[in-house]
């Protein structure tokens, strides 16, 4: 079916090139490697990460498979995942649900206990947002978090994501359905 508008970002824009390493102040965002499987296994054993996410990783093999899916998302232009490093892996940041035609994606992150309270999530979110909006050319980035997660709300606000509303009973966590705050950043936002 023909489109009435041009794609915001040309099809294949991610997979045609190598996934970049992005500076984030004193941190680097780099693609995940199979050698990071142990970090994923440890991170997903953290009760806070388990609480706010719908999945777990229970073996090294599962971690390797997850890294493979992370990297496949780049090649298929559907997602892009980076390890937040400084120099050890401090967390994950990603563009999920990428729609190049519409020029939008959802940003998601988690950080290890050692990185919490140090601003790593904010610096990574700012760096990835600037790359996605300015270099890749996306128009809009959404950021969702549980209303019961004030730390994630602070990350969104400090990273320049304006609050747009509450999505009622929008995400199933291990303890039941959570209302979710929706924040967004649009290309050209200050």
pLDDT in tens, the chain (190 residues): 788 899 999 999 999 999 999 999 999 999 999 999 999 999 999 999 998 988 899 999 999 999 999 999 999 999 999 999 999 999 999 999 999 999 999 999 999 999 999 999 999 999 999 999 999 999 999 999 999 999 999 999 999 999 999 999 999 998 999 999 999 999 998 7
Is the distance from CB of 67 to CB of 34 less than 8 angstroms?
yes
Continuous segment of H or E residues that includes residue 150:
helix 150-158
> How far, in Å, CA of 121 to CA of 112, rounded?
10
pLDDT of residue 156: 98
Task: Count how many residues are written for the chain.
Answer: 190
Is the distance from CB of 132 to CB of 173 less than 8 angstroms?
no
> How far, in Å, CA of 98 to CA of 147, rounded?
24
> How far, in Å, CA of 13 to CA of 25, rounded?
26
Q: SS3 for 119?
A: coil
> How far, in Å, CA of 43 to CA of 38, rounded?
9
Q: SS3 for 38?
A: helix
pLDDT of residue 1: 78
Continuous segment of H or E residues that includes residue 93:
strand 89-99
pLDDT of residue 101: 96
pLDDT of residue 3: 81
């Amino acid at each position: 079916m023909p489109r009435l508008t041009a794609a915001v970002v040309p099809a294949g824009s991610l997979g045609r090139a190598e996934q970049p390493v992005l500076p984030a102040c004193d941190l680097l965002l780099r693609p995940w490697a199979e050698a990071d499987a142990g970090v994923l296994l440890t991170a997903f054993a953290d009760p806070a990460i388990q609480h706010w996410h719908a999945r777990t990783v229970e073996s090294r093999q599962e971690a390797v498979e997850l890294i493979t899916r992370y990297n496949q998302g780049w090649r298929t232009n559907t997602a892009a995942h980076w390890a937040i490093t400084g120099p050890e892996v401090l967390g994950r940041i990603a563009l999920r649900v990428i729609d190049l035609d519409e020029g939008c994606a959802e940003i998601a992150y988690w950080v290890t206990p050692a990185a919490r309270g140090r601003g790593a999530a904010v610096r990574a979110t700012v760096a990835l947002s600037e790359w996605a909006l300015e270099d890749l050319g996306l128009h809009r980035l959404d950021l969702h978090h549980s209303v019961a997660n004030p730390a994630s709300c602070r990350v969104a606000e400090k990273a320049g994501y304006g609050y747009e509303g509450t999505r009622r009973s929008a995400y199933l966590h291990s303890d039941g359905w959570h209302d979710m705050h929706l924040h967004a950043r649009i290309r050209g936002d200050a």
